[in-house]
């Protein structure tokens, strides 16, 4: 029987890899983003293509073009930027304007600096002033090498990121959590060793390992990848246009919005219709149906799994074996909750603490009945949130 | 052409996680069958063709009954997950080797219907199905289930009946080693103590049976046996005798950890196992049946919802 090891810590052999600049990118945007470019507009690398309309210092970052090109399409979930067509006979080549490095970064501090970082593409929604800051230096999931690769190859960038963060949010203490047995220090912050076996690498459990308390309310946690993004902005003083993405055994510096297909070709990995693909790791990744999707800035990996390697998930009945209960880091009963959700008893899932679920996916991973346990829990959470929203809207109308 | 283009570009998707431990119910049950093979072999070696007949009828009836009832209930057939076959075999292990075919068929059908299907199928039952089948037969046809009476053609004794009806002196010649090797009369599979132990240890090593219930169950048997033995060693058998005789080991590794009828949390599993173990000795000491293991399992099953009330606080709960 196949027994998968869920250790995430690995020995990094390769260095950070580069990929050729793509000619066409599909830069993902979120619902909250407001596109500020029009079709056929010529954009330079680093130019803002979508804004976060709120004026707050903390929120999702602006989105910038990662190549010089022409806006081909503005879609609800992406902005497509293609190659600039060759100038016609007698016309001058279109001028491409790239933004200047932002010199202000060195002088600003506090909220103003946070706002500036947001405008340069950093998601600042998880940064709060004067809280303890915990840096999750564990690889997020088995097979995703990003964190340890960046710690090995991008120390300077991470250090710059930490310095600018210290100016922006003045954290009380900074702790770096790394895998047991690793001796790493980063710009003088305390290093804490913790288990690297998934799901111990997910944020709430890392916070627990670092602080000894579950869900403390004065702690911010960011991943090494997020710190790397801050560091990139801090060192280049240019908007964020790059993601660090694991494909296979290597980690690549990928322009944001590069189509997955181009990345896979550049990485030279085998893929095809008999493979299943996901953005991010194998445990929590988002399934990909379309390889023209662009890589988001916060992407950590592209996961490939050959079809038929693992038993497929089916709506089988729960057999009450209790495997999910034993692996659940949230100490709830995923099997029981999944049955409540299966039969639309959403209120019961609430009383059985479905909101404690950390969404690590271990329950589905171990389920011998091959039930989509976590999906049932997510469904229950979504239904409860929708109910709560409906209730509060009714109250407001009274 | 256009449709071809699309089919080329769209990939099949799956919900997270994309990885799976690779465990399926079918594989688990095949592993269990593999673990039970030595017990089957030993039973055939001891009791000959009679044992083959009983096991065959029990397994066949369990699978066929399940398929029929599932057809009646409009459920998809799940015969291919082998859980019915495993239950049928475990049920056969509790019977005397000379049980008549009609008895085995009735018992096996009752086991599947009352122990599994009325609750919706495997995994829904609050009771251990093989123990239910055994209990129905033991109460309805006690003379056919009496191990001593049914196995007269072998010139041996059944240790638990001897203890019950003739006292401690009658079993003084029975050594723990002979119990372990199954050199006495007993239920056809359950009395092959060494082989059952082997099967249980194999399943625990594969991670298919968690150690919590078997270990606490055996601890319960040993401790309760020791307490009675200390009270009056002239009347009560040694804890080791209780551990190795009757269906204690089969109950520890197969009946008590039956998935749907045992608790899920760690502490409740330990309490559940310990309670069941103590009940075995209590029923053997005061009950009218020589072997109380299956009844102890059923009693513990009834307490499972109570044990399951002991829950840890969810993560971050205050």
For residue B22, pLDDT over 80 is answered with yes
Note whether A118 and A159 are same-domain residues.
yes
b/e map of B288-313 (b: 16 or more CB within 10 Å)? ebbbbbbbbbbbbbebbeebbeebee
What is the distance in angstroms between the Cα of A93 and the nearest Cα belonging to chain B? 35
Q: Tell me if chain B has a CB within 8 Å of the CB of A107.
A: no
Let me know if residue A171 belongs to a domain: yes
Residue A332, domain extent: 323-397
Residue closest to B312 by CA, chosen among A353, A359, A216, A346: A353
Q: Tell me if chain A has a CB within 8 Å of the CB of B122.
A: yes
Give residues with Cβ within 8 angstroms of B84, minimum separation 6: B62, B63, B65, B66, B78, B112, B116, B122
b/e map of A189-223 (b: 16 or more CB within 10 Å)? beebebbbbbbbbbbbbbbbbbbeebeeeebbbbb
What is the distance in angstroms between the Cα of A213 and the nearest Cα belonging to chain B? 8
CA distances from A82 to A257, A259, A296 (A): 11, 12, 17
Note whether A224 and A155 are same-domain residues.
yes
Note whether A210 and A250 are same-domain residues.
no
Stretch 205-234 of chain B: residues touching chain A, C-beta under 8 Å: 206, 210
Q: Do A291 and B9 make contact, defined as CB atoms within 8 angstroms?
A: yes
* pLDDT on residue B3: 43
Compute how many other C-beta atoms are within 10 angstroms of the C-beta atom of residue A372: 22
Most B CBs within 10 Å, among A285, A305, A368, to test the B interface: A368
Are A79 and A35 in contact, with CB atoms under 8 Å apart?
A: yes
Could you report the predicted ipTM of this complex, rounded to two decimals?
0.87
Note whether A166 and A210 are same-domain residues.
yes
Q: Do A317 and B259 make contact, defined as CB atoms within 8 angstroms?
A: no
Give me the mean pLDDT over the B239-256 stretch.
93
The pTM for the full model equals 0.89
Q: Tell me if chain A has a CB within 8 Å of the CB of B23.
A: yes
CATH of the domain at A248: 3.10.20.30
For residue B8, pLDDT over 70 is answered with no
Let me know if residue A365 belongs to a domain: yes
- The structure tokens listed for B105 are 């068929």
A271 backbone dihedrals φ, ψ, rounded to 5°: -155, 165
Task: Give, for A340, the enclosing helix (H) or strand (E).
Answer: helix A334-342
Q: Do B11 and A284 make contact, defined as CB atoms within 8 angstroms?
A: no
Give the domain-ending residue among A236, A253, A274. A236
Per-residue pLDDT of chain A (398 residues; tens, 9 = 90+): 345 678 888 888 888 889 999 999 999 999 999 999 999 888 998 999 999 888 888 889 999 999 999 999 999 999 999 998 888 777 777 778 888 888 888 888 788 888 889 999 999 888 887 788 999 999 999 989 999 999 888 889 999 999 998 888 888 888 999 988 888 878 778 889 999 898 899 999 999 999 888 888 888 899 999 999 999 999 999 999 999 999 988 999 999 999 999 999 999 888 888 888 999 999 999 988 888 899 999 999 999 998 888 888 888 899 988 999 999 999 999 999 999 999 999 999 999 999 999 999 999 999 999 999 999 999 999 999 999 999 888 877 76
Q: Tell me if chain B has a CB within 8 Å of the CB of A1.
A: yes
Nearest to A372 among B15, B206, B265 (CB): B15
Q: Do B15 and A278 make contact, defined as CB atoms within 8 angstroms?
A: no
Q: Do B259 and A319 make contact, defined as CB atoms within 8 angstroms?
A: yes
- The structure tokens listed for A366 are 């171990």
Give residues with Cβ within 8 angstroms of A170, minimum separation 6: A110, A129, A130
Note whether A187 and A262 are same-domain residues.
no
Are A121 and A60 in contact, with CB atoms under 8 Å apart?
A: no
Note whether A222 and A161 are same-domain residues.
yes
Q: Tell me if chain A has a CB within 8 Å of the CB of B305.
A: no
Let me know if residue A25 belongs to a domain: no
Residue B207, domain extent: 25-307
* pLDDT on residue B6: 47
Give me the mean pLDDT over the B298-311 stretch.
93
Note whether A209 and A265 are same-domain residues.
no
Let me know if residue B1 belongs to a domain: no
Report the SS3 class of residue A53. Answer: coil
Note whether A198 and A256 are same-domain residues.
no
Give residues with Cβ within 8 angstroms of B173, minimum separation 6: none
Give residues with Cβ within 8 angstroms of B304, minimum separation 6: B126, B261, B262, B263, B268, B272
Q: Do A368 and B11 make contact, defined as CB atoms within 8 angstroms?
A: no
Let me know if residue A203 belongs to a domain: yes
Let me know if residue B181 belongs to a domain: yes
Let me know if residue A312 belongs to a domain: no
Nearest to A276 among B12, B120, B260 (CB): B12
Residue closest to A319 by CA, chosen among A294, A338, A301: A338
Note whether A202 and A263 are same-domain residues.
no
Please state, rounded to an integer, the average pLDDT across all residues of chain B. 90
Q: Tell me if chain B has a CB within 8 Å of the CB of A212.
A: no
Note whether A122 and A228 are same-domain residues.
yes
CA closest to A287 among chain B residues: B13
Chain B CB contacts of A215 below 8 Å: 315-316
Let me know if residue A126 belongs to a domain: yes
With 0-12 / 13-18 / 19 or more C-beta atoms within 10 angstroms meaning exposed / middle / buried, residue A11 is exposed
Q: Tell me if chain B has a CB within 8 Å of the CB of A369.
A: yes
For residue B217, pLDDT over 70 is answered with yes
Let me know if residue B195 belongs to a domain: yes
CA distances from B64 to A179, A250, A318, B110, B276 (A): 53, 53, 22, 12, 31
* pLDDT on residue B231: 92
Q: Do B9 and A290 make contact, defined as CB atoms within 8 angstroms?
A: yes
Let me know if residue B81 belongs to a domain: yes
CATH of the domain at A165: 3.40.50.11540
Note whether A150 and A229 are same-domain residues.
yes
Q: Do B11 and A329 make contact, defined as CB atoms within 8 angstroms?
A: no
- In this predicted model, what pLDDT tens digit does every residue of B86-124 receive, in sequence order? 999 999 999 999 999 999 999 999 999 999 999 988 888
CA distances from A15 to A47, A77, A221 (A): 29, 33, 26
HEC secondary structure over chain B: CHHHHHHHHECCCCCCCCCCCCCCHHHHHHHHHHHHHHHHHHHHHHHCHHHHHHHHHHHHHHHHHHHHHHHHHCCCCCHHHCHHHHHHHHHHHCCCCCCCHHHHHHHHHHHHHHHCHHHCCCCCCCCCHHHHHHHHHHHHCHHHHCHHHHCCCCCCCCHHHHHHHHCHHHHCCCCHHHHHCCCCCCCCCCCCHHHHHHHHHHHHHCCCCCCHHHHHHHHHHHHHHHHHHHHCCCCCCCHHHHHHCCCHHHHHHHHCCCHHHCCCCHHHHHHHHHHHHHHHHHHHHHCCCCCCHHHHHHHHHHHHHHHCCCCCCCCCCC
Interatomic CA distance for residues A80 and B82, integer angstroms: 53
Let me know if residue A52 belongs to a domain: no
- The structure tokens listed for A273 are 């219709």
For residue B270, pLDDT over 80 is answered with yes
Q: Which residue has the tokens 């089969």?
A: B250
Nearest to A278 among B16, B23, B316 (CB): B16
DSSP state of A105: G
Cα dihedral A114→A119→A123→A126 (10° resolution): 20
CATH of the domain at B42: 1.10.3430
Note whether A191 and A150 are same-domain residues.
yes
pLDDT band, very low/low/confident/very high, at B318 (cuts 50, 70, 90): low
Let me know if residue B18 belongs to a domain: no
Count of domains forming chain B: 1
Count of domains forming chain A: 3
Compute how many other C-beta atoms are within 10 angstroms of the C-beta atom of residue A270: 9
Let me know if residue A44 belongs to a domain: no
Stretch 250-279 of chain B: residues touching chain A, C-beta under 8 Å: 259-260, 262-266
Are B191 and B251 in contact, with CB atoms under 8 Å apart?
A: no
């Amino acid at each position: 029987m196949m027994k998968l090891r869920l250790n995430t810590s690995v020995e990094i052999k390769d260095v950070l890899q580069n990929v050729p600049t793509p000619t066409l990118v599909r830069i993902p945007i979120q619902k909250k983003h407001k596109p500020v470019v029009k079709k056929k507009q010529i954009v330079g690398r680093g130019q803002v293509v979508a804004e976060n309309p709120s004026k707050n210092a903390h929120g999702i970052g602006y989105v910038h073009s990662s190549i010089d090109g022409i806006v081909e399409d503005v879609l609800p979930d992406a902005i497509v930027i293609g190659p600039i067509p060759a100038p016609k006979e007698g016309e001058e080549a279109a001028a491409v304007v790239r933004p200047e490095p932002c010199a202000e970064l060195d002088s600003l501090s506090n909220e103003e600096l946070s706002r500036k970082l947001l405008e340069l593409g950093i998601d600042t929604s998880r940064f709060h002033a004067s809280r303890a800051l915990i840096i999750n230096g564990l690889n997020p999931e088995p097979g995703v090498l990003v964190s340890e690769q960046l710690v090995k190859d991008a120390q300077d960038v991470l250090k710059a990121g930490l310095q600018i963060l210290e100016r922006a949010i003045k954290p009380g203490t900074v702790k770096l959590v790394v895998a047991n047995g690793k001796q790493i220090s980063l710009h003088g912050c305390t290093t804490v060793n913790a288990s690297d076996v998934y799901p111990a690498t997910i944020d709430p459990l890392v916070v627990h390992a670092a602080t000894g308390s579950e869900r403390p309310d004065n702690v911010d946690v960011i991943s090494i990848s997020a710190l790397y993004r801050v560091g990139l902005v801090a060192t280049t003083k240019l908007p964020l246009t790059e993601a660090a993405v694991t494909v296979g055994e290597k980690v690549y510096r990928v322009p944001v919005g590069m189509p997955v297909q181009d990345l896979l070709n550049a990485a030279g990995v085998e893929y095809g219709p008999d493979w299943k693909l996901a953005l991010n790791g194998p445990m929590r990744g988002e399934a990909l149906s379309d390889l023209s999707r662009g890589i988001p800035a916060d992407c950590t990996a592209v996961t490939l799994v050959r079809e038929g390697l693992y038993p497929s998930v089916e709506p089988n009945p729960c057999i009450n074996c209790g495997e999910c209960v034993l692996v659940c880091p949230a100490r709830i009963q995923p099997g029981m909750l999944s049955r409540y959700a299966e039969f639309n008893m959403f209120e019961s899932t609430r009383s059985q603490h479905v909101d404690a679920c950390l969404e690590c996916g271990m329950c589905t991973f171990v389920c011998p009945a091959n039930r989509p346990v976590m999906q049932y829990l997510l469904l229950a959470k979504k239904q409860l949130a929708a109910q709560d929203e409906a209730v509060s809207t009714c109250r407001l109308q009274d | 052409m256009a449709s071809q283009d699309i089919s080329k570009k769209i990939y099949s998707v799956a919900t997270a996680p994309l990885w799976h431990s690779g465990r399926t119910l079918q594989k688990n049950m095949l592993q269990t069958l593999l673990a039970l093979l030595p017990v089957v072999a030993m039973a055939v070696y001891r009791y000959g063709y009679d044992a083959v007949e009983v096991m065959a009828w029990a397994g066949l009836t369990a699978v066929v009954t399940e398929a029929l009832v599932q057809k009646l209930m409009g459920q998809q057939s799940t015969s291919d997950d082998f859980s019915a076959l495993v239950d049928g075999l475990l049920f056969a292990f509790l019977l005397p080797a000379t049980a008549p075919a009609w008895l085995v068929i009735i018992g096996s059908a009752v086991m599947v219907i009352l122990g599994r299907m009325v609750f919706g199928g495997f995994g829904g039952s609050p009771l251990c199905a093989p123990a239910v089948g055994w209990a129905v037969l033991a109460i309805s046809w006690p003379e056919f289930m009496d191990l001593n009476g049914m196995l007269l053609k072998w010139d041996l004794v059944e240790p638990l009946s001897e203890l019950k009806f003739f006292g401690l002196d009658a079993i003084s010649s029975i050594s723990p080693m002979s119990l372990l090797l199954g050199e006495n009369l007993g239920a056809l599979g359950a009395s092959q103590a060494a082989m059952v132990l082997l099967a249980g240890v194999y399943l625990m090593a594969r991670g298919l049976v968690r150690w919590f219930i078997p270990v606490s169950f055996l601890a319960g048997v040993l401790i309760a046996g020791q307490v009675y033995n200390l009270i009056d060693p002239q009347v009560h058998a040694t804890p080791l005798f209780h551990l190795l005789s009757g269906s204690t080991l089969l109950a520890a590794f197969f009946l008590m950890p039956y998935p749907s009828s045992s608790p899920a949390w760690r502490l409740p599993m330990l309490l559940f196992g310990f309670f069941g173990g103590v009940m075995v000795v209590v029923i053997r000491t005061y009950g009218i049946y020589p072997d109380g293991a299956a009844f102890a399992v059923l009693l513990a099953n009834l307490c499972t919802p109570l044990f399951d009330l002991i829950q840890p606080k969810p993560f971050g709960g205050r």
